[in-house]
Amino acid sequence: MRIAVCGGPYGNPYALQAFVDDARARGAERLYCLGDLGGFGAEVDALWPILTGNDITCLAGNYDVAIARGDTDCGCGYRDPKDNEFAQLIYDHTLATTNRDFAAWMGELPTERRESIGGCDVHMVHGSTLALNDFWWESLPEDQHRLRLEASGADVILCTHSGLPWQRRTGDTLTVNVGVLGKPANDGQQGVWYALLDLDEGRASAELVPLAYDWQAQAASMRAAGLPEVFVETIETGWWTTCLEVLPPYERARGRYHLYRSTLPTAFSPADDGWGGTEPAALDEDRPVVPLFGSPYFPSRLWLYTNFHCNLACDYCAVASSPKAAPRSLSVEEFRSLVDEAVASGFTELYVTGGEPFLHPDIVQLLDYASAQLPTVVMTNAMLLRGRRANGLADLADRKLTVQTSLDGATAATHDLHRGPGSWQRTMDGIRHLIDLGLPPRVALTETPENTGEIPAVAALLAELGLPADHFAVRPLLRRGFADTGIEIGEDTSVPELTVTADGLHWHPAGADTATSPDMYIAPPGTPLERGKQLVTEHFFAARLADGSLPRPVHCAI
């Protein structure tokens, strides 16, 4: 026996009719709908003749129960105020425009169905076996899946409600979330999904079927009804623009949009100080949702570690670099490929760091390639800016290249305390050399108990050299790498800045050493940057949803 099962038509008669036609063409002998007839589109009444005229066996979803009773809200199970705001808007429209005879018909539908088909015990529900409006997400922990299975005991369980199709086997049980017909599955495709099942002699298999339909007609009908453009946009683009907060991290990371604009930070907005971090203009002010990437919560700058060995052994190096560190260098080919990928993936600036990047034999070649495509900052201790490795650096003065170095005191005694004897003087010489090359550097001071009192003197010293005031910044000491004191930083307390090393992808440049910061490791070498963005987004929401809070930025280079 072959059956076809759909979820949530959501007032989309064009998709419902396409489901009937496609399922029949594929040999489906029975058609089922798991409920939520209204809830997104404008033409709920147009569903009724299609359902009854094609012998579609229906369940009632939470939406149908609410419409039948004339409830004040849809009972969808959202908890976030913004999710509920959008849900209420479309529910009010649906309640006001649904024929009361059709609503009464909905009220007669069962909320679950159980029957034997092809020797299989099939349990059909709307949300889950626990509740009518329970979101049965694919990413639920295993114990949560088993809890829902044990509440049924059927061979096959079919559900919908979440809007995202998936299937899995647990032991002898096949569970299928059939998706919905009423809107795309947040996958960038205008089409929708349903499930086709073959049930024979106690064996069950399922196929999730992508369904093309006349989405242009659906969009036009929604506009004609005066529904907000934010709903129509989902039909036209395949990306969800409402009801985002209900999505768990795994599911949310796979969409284009991740946050409501109203949740963007106001307590910190990176200043336009020339050091990066400004909110990109690409965030459309008319849309209520934004991607995480490119927002203040996930800046669109990429960090590239050219190498990890260093001519210094600073005792608070966050990534444990030193002359004894394994180089772990990126090759010229790897670096160029990453730069190309960064451009294609929407990154707007590059930070090149180490170790000491000027220990890389091809550093000027790398900076030449990077700064020709994106604004590039190279982090250096400024001690190795002469000789073979630095030849040609002056030629990059008219490129989009910024050099940043560190000066941790106004005197040698203070600076050298953590960075080693003679390092202050060599850094000062390097700063003067950069100025002479036409590359006036930015300078950062890592604040420690020993140098706090010298911060004004450092600023004055740099001003005497002719550096603008906005070329100097103070950054915190982080408890990472060699440092055993300082600010704690982790995925749950910091804003991500995707970082690439020879070891793979990392959450933040201060956690890019796999030995001392394994908790900030994201993915192995060769992982595409687009996948890295997705993983960072997933990690971000996993950390955020654990306690509901939002992290603050920790600036390595503002």
- More confident: 269 or 507: 507
| Same domain? 198 vs 341 | no
| Same domain? 196 vs 73 | yes
Indicate the pLDDT class of residue 263, thresholds 50, 70 and 90.
Answer: confident
Render pLDDT for 110-151 as a digit per residue (tens, 0 to 9).
999 999 999 999 999 999 999 999 999 999 999 999 999 999
| Same domain? 320 vs 192 | no
Output Rg (C-alpha) for the chain, integer angstroms: 29
What mean pLDDT is predicted for residues 51-58? 98
Q: Does residue 282 surpass a pLDDT of 60?
A: no
Number of domains making up the chain: 2
| Same domain? 12 vs 158 | yes
CB atoms within 10 A of CB 391: 10
Q: What is the pTM of this model?
A: 0.90
What mean pLDDT is predicted for residues 51-72? 97
| Same domain? 334 vs 430 | yes
HSE-up (13 A, CA, CB side) for residue 94: 33
Render pLDDT for 26-41 as a digit per residue (tens, 0 to 9).
999 999 999 999 999 9
The predicted pLDDT at position 551 comes to 61
300 three-state secondary structure: coil
261 part of a folded domain: no
What mean pLDDT is predicted for residues 412-421? 96
The CATH number given to whatever domain includes residue 151 is: 3.60.21.10
The predicted pLDDT at position 223 comes to 97
DSSP category for residue 329: P
| Same domain? 381 vs 524 | yes
φ, ψ at 312 (rounded to 5°): -115, 165
Q: Does residue 279 surpass a pLDDT of 50?
A: no
The predicted pLDDT at position 104 comes to 97
| Same domain? 329 vs 478 | yes
The predicted pLDDT at position 492 comes to 83
| Same domain? 211 vs 69 | yes
Single residue among 181, 200, 216 that ends a domain in this structure = 216
Indicate the pLDDT class of residue 511, thresholds 50, 70 and 90.
Answer: very high
With a CB cutoff of 8 Å and minimum separation 6, the contacts of 421 are: none
223 part of a folded domain: no
The predicted pLDDT at position 283 comes to 46
Single residue among 189, 216, 243 that ends a domain in this structure = 216
What mean pLDDT is predicted for residues 322-348? 98
Domain span including residue 496? 301-547
Single residue among 216, 250, 274 that ends a domain in this structure = 216
- Spell out the long-range contacts of 234-238 with Cβ–Cβ below 8 A and sequence spacing 24 or more: 234/40, 234/183, 234/184, 235/41, 235/183, 235/184, 235/190, 236/190, 237/188, 237/190, 238/184, 238/185, 238/186, 238/187, 238/188, 238/189, 238/190, 238/191
What mean pLDDT is predicted for residues 510-524? 97
Q: Does residue 333 surpass a pLDDT of 70?
A: yes
| Same domain? 338 vs 466 | yes
| Same domain? 198 vs 316 | no
What mean pLDDT is predicted for residues 281-304? 83
- More confident: 79 or 533: 533
The predicted pLDDT at position 552 comes to 59
Indicate the pLDDT class of residue 555, thresholds 50, 70 and 90.
Answer: low
Q: Does residue 78 surpass a pLDDT of 50?
A: yes
What mean pLDDT is predicted for residues 462-475? 95
d(CA 362, CA 360): 6
Mean pLDDT of the chain: 93
Q: Does residue 278 surpass a pLDDT of 60?
A: no
| Same domain? 44 vs 189 | yes
The CA–CA distances, whole Å, from 422 to 393, 416, 418, 419, 445 equal 24, 7, 11, 9, 17
264 part of a folded domain: no
421 part of a folded domain: yes
Question: Distance from CA of residue 139 to its chain's centroid?
Answer: 15
| Same domain? 200 vs 316 | no
37 part of a folded domain: yes
Beta carbons of 435 and 397 less than 8 angstroms apart: no
Return the structure tokens found at 476.
């915190």
3-state SS, one letter per residue, for 35-63 = CCCCCCCCCCCCHHHHHHHCCEEECCCHH
The CATH number given to whatever domain includes residue 383 is: 3.20.20.70
